[in-house]
Amino acid sequence: MNNAVIPSAFTNWLRVNLFADKASILITLLFCVASAYCLPAVLDWLLFKAVFRADAEACRVAQGACWGVVTEKYRVILFGRYPYQEQWRPMLVVGILLLSIIVSCRRFADYSRLALAWLLVMLFCFVLLRGGFAGLALVESSRWGGLPLTLLLTIGSIAGAFPLAILLAFGRSSQLPVIRALSTLYIELIRSIPLVSMLFLAAFIFPLLLPSRYSMDVFIRVLLGITFFLAAYLAEVLRGGLQSIPAGQLEAAASLGLRPWQVRWHIILPQALRATLPSLINSFISIFKETSLVTVVGLYELTGALTLSLSGDPNWRPFYLEGYLFIAAIYWCGCFALSRHSQQWLNKT
């Protein structure tokens, strides 16, 4: 047989995916026409007629997008109010965090070591950003901002909320009435409060309740607020997973002489985690984006830093849209990577 008869892989793919039946042929054609109609204009705006250099006058007369706003303001958008000369520190922190994420995606054989490594990484990032030793200037956490703040809040709150959520999920399905009632109360209470209110409580009310000689860093307070908030949601997700384990397994494990905590740790938890992984990742993605709410308590993460950099500058304020597209791209990369990674993980296990 020759090549003309056997369809190549590509044409086969086309036939299966795009031209399988009449309906999909129609949809494919419609889509092609629509893209042919829209794409040139979109590309013109995005690239060919866009202005990339930081020149506000050129931007004002340009037909396309003004990426110059990013060229001009990227330091403020990415690092917020962090002192300009010291911005290598947040830059380093972003690098370390991304590297750690990539490394821990590849190798996750030993969970306890991984957890310890992450604890050290987070502590190092915190200390590096804060400074105040070895010639590094002290930078208060109220001046941290932009991407490192978004990443630290997301990773920190997930890392803190996860163990708490496991305890709460077991607590809520516990046989002991007091523990069950307390866990239920916590979960229902927290889930009835919006995150903004939680942040407001953490940022403004909590310091009033502390005796005046103690003060807690605003970053830590807000991080704790998000952590407690996220824990309640994760606990409910996990509880669904716990309930999906058939009772027969528990009885079998108990009859083998395993202690209750061994049953939970070795039998229930691994299966529950696998069953709930998509929902967990869903929660992680949503908390990644919800960190943008910390702007209301005066911490300027990505979206807040964008507002800070543009709203007072009459030259660049008209190009808000491009600024928002820039941070949307950053958020998209984060969310997409998370969801792809969870799929890989699901396939492996």
Partner 1 sequence: MRRNDCFFVSTNIFSTGFCSLRKIVRWMLVASMLTSMPVLAGKTLDGIKARGVISCGVSTGLAGFSAMDSKGEWHGLDVDICKALAAATLGDARKVKWVPLGSQQRFPALQSGEIDVLSHNTTWTLSRDASFGIHFTSIVYHDGQGFMVAKKTGISAVHQLSHADICVQSGTTSEKTLNDYFRAQKMKFRPVVFENFEASLKAFFSGRCQAYTTDASSLAAILQRETRNPGDYLVLAEVISKEPMSPAVRRGDDEWFAIVKWVVNALIVAEEEQLTQANLDTQKEHGNAVVQGLLGNADDIGKLLGLDRAWAYRAIQAVGNYGDIFERNLGSGSPLKLSRGANRLWTHGGLIYAPPIR
Binding of residue 240 to partner 1 (CB under 8 A): no
**Complex with partner 1: residue 131 or 207, whichever CB lies closer:** 207
146, 154, 152: which is closest to 79 by C-alpha?
A: 146
Stretch that binds partner 1, among 11-19, 37-45, 201-209, 236-244 (CB under 8 A): 201-209
Q: Rounded to whole angstroms, what are the CA distances from 176 to 12, 245, 249?
A: 60, 20, 21
Q: Is the dihedral of CA 326, 332, 338, 343 positive or negative?
A: negative
Options 7, 40, 83, 270; binder of partner 1; rule CB under 8 A: 83
Instruction: Give min distance, CB of 288 to partner 1, in A.
Output: 17
Options 24, 311, 343, 344; binder of partner 1; rule CB under 8 A: 311
Binding of residue 37 to partner 1 (CB under 8 A): no
Options 153, 166, 242, 310; binder of partner 1; rule CB under 8 A: 310
Contact assessment for residue 139 and residue 130, using Cβ atoms and an 8 Å cutoff = yes
Binding of residue 253 to partner 1 (CB under 8 A): no
Q: Which of residues 136-175 bind partner 1 (CB under 8 A)?
A: 142
Stretch that binds partner 1, among 17-25, 40-48, 120-128, 289-297 (CB under 8 A): 289-297
227 phi and psi angles, rounded to 5 deg: -60, -50
Distance CA 64, CA 74 (A): 19
Instruction: Give min distance, CB of 197 to partner 1, in A.
Output: 5
Instruction: Give min distance, CB of 140 to partner 1, in A.
Output: 8
Residues at the contact surface with partner 1, assessed by CB under 8 A: 60, 72-73, 75-76, 81-84, 142, 194, 196-197, 200, 204-205, 207-208, 212, 295-298, 300, 307-315, 317-318, 320
